[in-house]
Amino acid sequence: MISLNSPAFFGLNQARQIEPHVQESNSVDFSEHQQWDHEHGWKNVLNNLRLIVQPLLLFWLIYPWLDIFPNSDLLLGFNRLISAMNGFKPFYSSG
């Protein structure tokens, strides 16, 4: 099913065109990630989806260790990163 929505990952700027009232300072261009794959195959789209979901998964892997080694700066950094990743607004074509 991911391949059906692949335009969502290739047209990240299209989501901004649909909602022009959103402040540009809050938007994040995910395709600037050094491992972002700009090809058009389903494996490339799956890799890009993995990059978007990865911060949340890594947070839940490290979270039990934060009980033993508390680090408020690390928690704050994860919070900011996950908030930015939650701002991802894919473009779904109506056709």
35-43: list long-range contacts, CB under 8 Å, 24+ apart: 38/10, 40/6, 40/10, 42/2, 42/3, 42/6
In a domain, 52, yes or no: no
- Considering its fold, how many domains does the chain have in total? 1
Q: Is residue 70 part of a domain?
A: yes
For residue 20, tell me if it sits in a domain.
Answer: no
Q: What confidence category does residue 16 fall into, taking pLDDT thresholds of 50, 70 and 90?
A: very low
Per the domain annotation, does 84 fall within a domain?
Answer: yes
Handedness of CA 10, 47, 90, 78 (dihedral sign): negative
Residue 66 domain-assigned? yes
User: What spatial distance separates the first Cα and last Cα of the chain, rounded to whole Å?
Assistant: 15
Rounded average pLDDT over 13-38? 63
Q: Which two tokens stand for residue 12?
A: 């990240």
On whether residue 73 sits in a domain, the answer given is: yes
Tokens representing residue 59 in the block? 């947070």
- Residue 71: the pLDDT is 92
Summarize the confidence of residues 41-59 as an average pLDDT.
86
36 is a domain residue: no
